[in-house]
Chain A
Amino acid sequence: MKNNNDYVTHNHDHYKDHRQRDLANRKYKDGADICIVGAGAAGGVLAYELSKAGFSVVVIEAGPFWNPQTDFASDELAAQSLAWQDTRLSTGKDALTFGHNNSGRGVGGGTVHFTGVFLRFHESDFKTKTIDGVGEDWPIEYQDLAPYYDKIERDIAVSGPKEFPWGSFHGPYPYPERNPISANSQVFRKGCDRLGIKSVVAPLAILSAPFDGRPPCISRGFCNQGCMPNSKFSTLIHHIPKAIGYGAEVLSDCMVTRIELDDQGKAKGVTFNHDGKEHFQKAKLVIVSAFAVETPRLLLNSTCSKFPQGLANSSGLVGRYLLTHTGHDIYAKFDDEVRLYKGTPVMALSQDFYETDRSRGFARGYTMNAHGGRPVSLAKNLAVSAGIWGSDLYEIMRDYNFYARITIVGEVLPDYNNFVTLSEEKDEYGIPRALASFSYGDNDNKMIAHGVAKANEILEAADGKAAFVIPDSAHLMGGCRMGRDPAASVVDEFCRSHDISNLYICDASAFVTSGGGNPTETVMAIAARTAQHIINSR
């Protein structure tokens, strides 16, 4: 048996070597106030806030309850198990890749293997239609989320600059910015300085000093492989253990297959599968926080006589307006070593191209992240996405240490024709596999071209030579968009479904537009606001 003395492993029900398989003795077998489906960025915050407020809460999570010390490793290939790998069917002109770049599995969800880049949306993100005539307006504004952004940043001690130049929040962040920054981030800032582009040390959900019993970052660089020192925030090590401390129960390795309704058409609980056996969790309120793919999939699979098109779907929009971010990786080669493997992947960024500038020929914009990386993902993406193999691949990889990289996180405009739905093919639980279709629009492609050119300018200004570009996407959002009009949206501004009053859908799927930056902080702020609304409605 492995050593399990670290504090993260306390209080939970089961994980490797310590699994409690006896679901008959679970805590809220006879019913809970609230059942949350999914323990990721949103589910973790909801579990914490709601259990702290005194509700009895059960979180049901499809994947395992990871132990960072014995389940994570300083290894890319092994870390693939942290991602949601269940097969999804993917089509469209720009078919999405699913897995490590966007979908988590297990308690903590995607926060277990995200880069920790922690950004607020700008005011303009919430009203692109009014301001720019593209996309759609949200039913909320920046000011509605501002107090929750503040709270989340304090709750987890976000590190960041004293002065943040863009958007509405200009700092300072609760914890000081990370120092030193990696060579790749230095290269990026040097290029930006020479071109007159503003850049900052990235705001990160990664500690720059001790906090809450956790140590500061040791610049190991394996953020995407799961943080072993627990310096990087995840709901696995922060919100979920605290929620358990307030009485919440986490049922991991349990796949929710259906949301069940009572005769009045209200949610009464969920059916889930554990080790091949079916169980039921009764609850007064159900919150689905299962990710932009699994949330629509679960709603569409929960058909019943009253809702033959799936739950919360009277608008027909469940699964529609699926959003991603353009995520192209731009590489340049330097005469000296950069060593992309060292330090937190993203330690510097710029939002100088975030807001609409019509002279560029497209609406909206993007964040530029200096972005470190490791050999397996680079080589794999070169071969699979860029089509480079054989001696060409070998020669690039031999010089791996000489490359620097910038990643574009660009706003993708919502399109009805980008969607998640159910396919004809079933998985081991008998649920139809998700079918996703995605294609970039004209505006998206123009933005990608602009971002790639700008990234190359920056790298060349820093004395690099433009080398290659790997097409990529990152983050998934949308599919259950929020709005005031029940005919044109799935949930209201508090993530409550228009159709079923005790069914909430609270995760990135509620996004109306994607924004032009990493979305995790916004997912968590929305979850905190939804929790407050539920507490207020008690």
Chain B
Amino acid sequence: MYEKQRTRYKGFNVLDEKKEWDQHTEEIVLKRLGPFAAPKFLLPEEKEMLKAIASHLIYDDRKEILEFVINHTDESLTSPVGEGERKPDAPPLKDLIRWGLKALDNAARGQFDCSFVELNAGQQFEMVAALQKAKAYLVPDWQQIPQKELFKKLASLIVSAYYAHPTIWSEIGYAGPAYPRGYVRLEFGLTDPWEAERNEE
């Protein structure tokens, strides 16, 4: 399923340069490699569901990266800080995610007669795609869960975390933190020596 070519920058590892970063940034980035504490908000079954949803949204099922994505999501859900904005008809983030996952699971049971995590990848994908269009299998739960909002909040949390993972930075050829040294060669076609070099076949 995820067999596509992952990188145009084979062998580039942004972490090779971590000694050049400021200490505060280095600490923050290295924490993303784990180990991670057990979730404080997410229940085990919610965690498994989120992992399945995340793998579809980010098109990746690598365990160590999904663990970070789940960890970031859990931290966001336990944080006392607000959620920026919310639609007046949507429940607060924690409830939206908890009730929303329940609703999606109930929809899976209604449509396929098994839980969401038991579905095959194709069926899961169809359900996530339906959620984005507010066309998930009809169950009473959706009356209090706006499907598009659920999709957007999940996408926001999961995709943000994924593209903050240093492995993904390396794969897309993003040179990452740049303090205190900065970039010198900014212009078209120029790179600093520590930047990723394209070497795709």
Q: Do A and B come from one complex?
A: yes
Partner of A375, one of B84, B169, B181: B169
Known: A97-B85, A181-B186, A183-B187. A75 touches B177 (CB 8 A): yes
Give every chain B residue within 8 A of A186 (Cβ-Cβ): 187-188
Shortest CB distance A140–B (Å): 32
Give the CA-CA distance A408 to B66 in the complex, in Å. Answer: 35
By the criterion CB–CB under 8 Å, are A389 and B57 in contact? yes
> Does chain A have a CB within 8 A of B36?
no
By the criterion CB–CB under 8 Å, are A376 and B163 in contact? yes
By the criterion CB–CB under 8 Å, are B173 and A400 in contact? yes
> Does chain B have a CB within 8 A of A193?
no
The 0/1 profile, CB within 8 Å of B marked 1, for residues 199-227 of chain A is: 00000000000000000011111100000
Known: A228-B22, A400-B173, A400-B174. A375 touches B163 (CB 8 A): yes
Give every chain A residue within 8 A of B57 (Cβ-Cβ): 383, 389-390, 393
A109-158 interface with B by 8 A CB criterion: none
The 0/1 profile, CB within 8 Å of A marked 1, for residues 1-43 of chain B is: 0001111100000000000011011001100000000000000
By the criterion CB–CB under 8 Å, are B175 and A76 in contact? no
Contact residues of B: prevailing secondary structure: loop
Give the CA-CA distance A83 to B72 in the complex, in Å. Answer: 18
Shortest CB distance A19–B (Å): 17
Known: A76-B164, A341-B174. A218 touches B183 (CB 8 A): yes
Give the CA-CA distance A22 to B106 in the complex, in Å. Answer: 52
The 0/1 profile, CB within 8 Å of A marked 1, for residues 86-115 of chain B is: 111000100000000000000000000000
Give the CA-CA distance A391 to B84 in the complex, in Å. Answer: 28
Give every chain B residue within 8 A of A316 (Cβ-Cβ): none
Partner of B81, one of A85, A218, A343: A85
Partner of B183, one of A95, A221, A395: A221
Known: A219-B182, A219-B186. A98 touches B160 (CB 8 A): no
Give the CA-CA distance A362 to B25 in the complex, in Å. Answer: 46
Give the CA-CA distance A87 to B21 in the complex, in Å. Answer: 33
Give every chain B residue within 8 A of A95 (Cβ-Cβ): 85, 87
The 0/1 profile, CB within 8 Å of B marked 1, for residues 31-47 of chain A is: 00000000000000000
Partner of A394, one of B60, B87, B174, B175: B60
Known: A95-B85, A375-B163. A74 touches B155 (CB 8 A): no
> Does chain A have a CB within 8 A of B134?
no
B166-188 interface with A by 8 A CB criterion: 168-169, 171-184, 186-188
Give the CA-CA distance A69 to B179 in the complex, in Å. Answer: 10
> Does chain B have a CB within 8 A of A167?
no
Known: A88-B85, A99-B84, A219-B183. A376 touches B164 (CB 8 A): yes
A389-404 interface with B by 8 A CB criterion: 389-391, 393-395, 397-401
| Closest B residue, CB atoms, query A398 | B172
> Does chain A have a CB within 8 A of B135?
no
> Does chain B have a CB within 8 A of A229?
yes
Pair count A-B, CB < 8 A: 196
By the criterion CB–CB under 8 Å, are B155 and A384 in contact? yes
> Does chain A have a CB within 8 A of B162?
yes
Give every chain A residue within 8 A of B83 (Cβ-Cβ): 85, 87
| Closest A residue, CB atoms, query B181 | A218
Give every chain A residue within 8 A of B178 (Cβ-Cβ): 74, 218, 220-222
Number of A interface residues, CB 8 Å? 70
Give the CA-CA distance A376 to B164 in the complex, in Å. Answer: 6
Interface centre among B60, B163, B164, B182 (most CB of A within 10 A): B163
By the criterion CB–CB under 8 Å, are B159 and A389 in contact? yes
| Closest A residue, CB atoms, query B184 | A219
Known: A86-B82, A88-B84, A376-B160. A77 touches B72 (CB 8 A): yes
B interface, how many residues as a size bin?
35 or more
| Closest B residue, CB atoms, query A97 | B85
Give the CA-CA distance A229 to B182 in the complex, in Å. Answer: 10
Known: A90-B87, A91-B87, A400-B174. A393 touches B58 (CB 8 A): yes
Shortest CB distance A216–B (Å): 10
By the criterion CB–CB under 8 Å, are A96 and B187 in contact? no
Of A262-270, A331-339, A492-500, the segment with at least 4 beta carbons within 8 Å of chain B is: A331-339
By the criterion CB–CB under 8 Å, are A379 and B159 in contact? yes
A248-276 interface with B by 8 A CB criterion: none
By the criterion CB–CB under 8 Å, are A73 and B56 in contact? no
> Does chain B have a CB within 8 A of A450?
no
The 0/1 profile, CB within 8 Å of B marked 1, for residues 76-111 of chain A is: 111001010111111100011111000000000000
| Closest A residue, CB atoms, query B29 | A75
> Does chain B have a CB within 8 A of A168?
no
Shortest CB distance A218–B (Å): 3
Give every chain A residue within 8 A of B56 (Cβ-Cβ): 389-390
Give the CA-CA distance A67 to B180 in the complex, in Å. Answer: 16
By the criterion CB–CB under 8 Å, are B125 and A390 in contact? yes
By the criterion CB–CB under 8 Å, are B176 and A98 in contact? no
> Does chain A have a CB within 8 A of B194?
no
Give the CA-CA distance A191 to B80 in the complex, in Å. Answer: 46
Give the CA-CA distance A506 to B148 in the complex, in Å. Answer: 37
Give the CA-CA distance A180 to B185 in the complex, in Å. Answer: 8
> Does chain B have a CB within 8 A of A387?
yes
By the criterion CB–CB under 8 Å, are A77 and B161 in contact? yes
Shortest CB distance B164–A (Å): 4
By the criterion CB–CB under 8 Å, are A89 and B85 in contact? yes
Give every chain B residue within 8 A of A376 (Cβ-Cβ): 160, 163-164
Interface centre among B86, B132, B186 (most CB of A within 10 A): B186
> Does chain B have a CB within 8 A of A346?
no
Give the CA-CA distance A341 to B174 in the complex, in Å. Answer: 7
Known: A74-B179, A380-B159. A183 touches B82 (CB 8 A): no
24 pairs of residues in contact across A and B, judged by CB atoms under 8 Å: A74-B22, A85-B82, A86-B82, A87-B85, A90-B87, A97-B84, A182-B187, A183-B187, A183-B190, A218-B180, A228-B180, A342-B175, A342-B186, A343-B186, A380-B159, A383-B155, A383-B159, A387-B132, A389-B155, A394-B58, A397-B163, A397-B172, A398-B8, A400-B172
Given known contacts A221-B183, A398-B6, what 15 new A-B pairs fall within 8 Å (CB)? Answer: A70-B24, A73-B28, A74-B177, A75-B177, A77-B164, A78-B28, A87-B82, A88-B82, A90-B86, A183-B188, A218-B183, A339-B173, A390-B56, A393-B59, A398-B171
Leading 10 A-B pairs by shortest Cβ distance: A218-B182, A74-B177, A87-B82, A99-B84, A394-B59, A77-B164, A90-B85, A183-B188, A383-B155, A86-B82
